[in-house]
Amino acid sequence: MRIPLMIFSIETSKKIGRRFKGIGRILLSMYPGVKYDLRSINANIEPDEYAFSATLSAMVWGLLFTVIAFVIMGFRGFPEEQRYVFTLAVGLFFTAFAFMLHMSYPGIISRKLAEKTDRELIFALRDMLAQVKSGMPFYVALSNIAKSDYGNVSRELSVAVRSISSGESEKQALQRVIITTKSEYMKRTLWQILVALESGASIDGALRSALDTLMNYQMLSIKNYASELNFAILFYMFFAAVLPSIGITLLVLLISFTAATITEDLFFAVIGVSVIIQMAIIGFIKNERPTIY
């Protein structure tokens, strides 16, 4: 397993971080939620080991950008003092940015897995509802869903099925899944099933209610995404078309009234900022897209 943009794999991170757990424990205090995110994505690594490896990876990224900035400024003919100060600032910035990114990525992956679970949960609930309505016992229907190909839903329910098979009660097994899963709708569905089991109500009614709630949530997600997309497109058009053309023209007019001059570096800086912001907006649009069928 490998965390995106992390230089070291999970196995390599374990070997590196095992010797520096004390430092990792101090760094982990800034991001206490990482240990729960690592557990939810089944990353086979201790949180303090991951924290130290993330710091080391961030330092490598910072050193890489420091060298790149130093070489570019050397080609551009900047004074040596400015080169050292600027490249040091670039290195510190990218080190801090990479560290925050590394420590946040397990949570991002965990949320993506939860969204994927919500997407697969619809089909699993439909299948389970059809089996229960046909007269099949709940445990048999639960076991069939765990053996089916419903992705994260089948994997999480298979844990409950194994616990029930070993003698644990259905209530305790389902409660354990509720604690470990990151999907809010998985939690709600299992709680509704637990309430139905304890009160003696029909399981199919609880499944139908959970299915309707999840369908309404997905429709609402589509509407919210459409409204956010219009706003994001407006920003994208501003930085993709307005800033490089009208913005530079306006800048030329304003500078013409002063003693300042326009250099190539200024044009490249405006274009560079425009490209970076466009990439960020595209990433936001892709990240906010609801994962539904």
Contact status, residue 65 vs residue 91, Cβ threshold 8 Å: yes
Indicate if 209 and 149 belong to the same structural domain.
yes
Specify the pLDDT at position 271.
77
Higher pLDDT, 98 or 75: 98
Q: Give the pLDDT confidence of 138-177 residue by residue, as tens digits.
A: 888 888 988 888 888 888 888 888 888 888 888 888 888 8
Indicate if 239 and 268 belong to the same structural domain.
yes
Specify the pLDDT at position 181.
80
Q: Give the pLDDT confidence of 195-213 residue by residue, as tens digits.
A: 888 887 778 888 888 888 8
Indicate if 73 and 133 belong to the same structural domain.
no
- Given the structure tokens 């801090």, which residue do they identify? 96
Q: Is residue 4 part of a domain?
A: no
**Residues 207-221, mean pLDDT to the nearest whole number:** 81
Terminal-residue alpha carbon distance, the chain? 27
Interatomic CA distance for residues 289 and 116, integer angstroms: 12
Going by C-alpha positions, the residue among 1, 93, 112 that lies closest to residue 50 is: 1
Contact status, residue 121 vs residue 214, Cβ threshold 8 Å: yes
Q: How many CB atoms lie within 10 A of CB 254?
A: 10
Position 293 pLDDT exceeds 60:
no
Contact status, residue 41 vs residue 106, Cβ threshold 8 Å: yes
Classify residue 258 as left (phi > 0), alpha (psi -120 to 50) or beta.
Answer: beta
Contact status, residue 147 vs residue 154, Cβ threshold 8 Å: yes
pTM value surpassing 0.85? no
Indicate if 108 and 124 belong to the same structural domain.
no
Q: Is residue 33 part of a domain?
A: yes
What range does the domain containing 108 cover? 10-112
Residue 30: enclosing H or E segment and its boundaries?
A: none
Total domain count, the chain? 3
Specify the pLDDT at position 260.
62
Residue where a domain terminates, one of 65, 80, 112 = 112
Position 136 pLDDT exceeds 80:
yes
Interatomic CA distance for residues 55 and 102, integer angstroms: 8
At residue 259 the predicted structure's pLDDT band, cuts being 50, 70 and 90, is: low
Query: Which amino acid belongs to residue 22?
Result: G
Spell out a b/e string for 82-106, using b for 16 or more CB atoms within 10 Å of the CB, else e: ebeebbeebbeebbeebbebbbebb
Contact status, residue 161 vs residue 92, Cβ threshold 8 Å: no
Specify the pLDDT at position 242.
75
Residue where a domain terminates, one of 217, 240, 268 = 217
**Residues 57-72, mean pLDDT to the nearest whole number:** 87
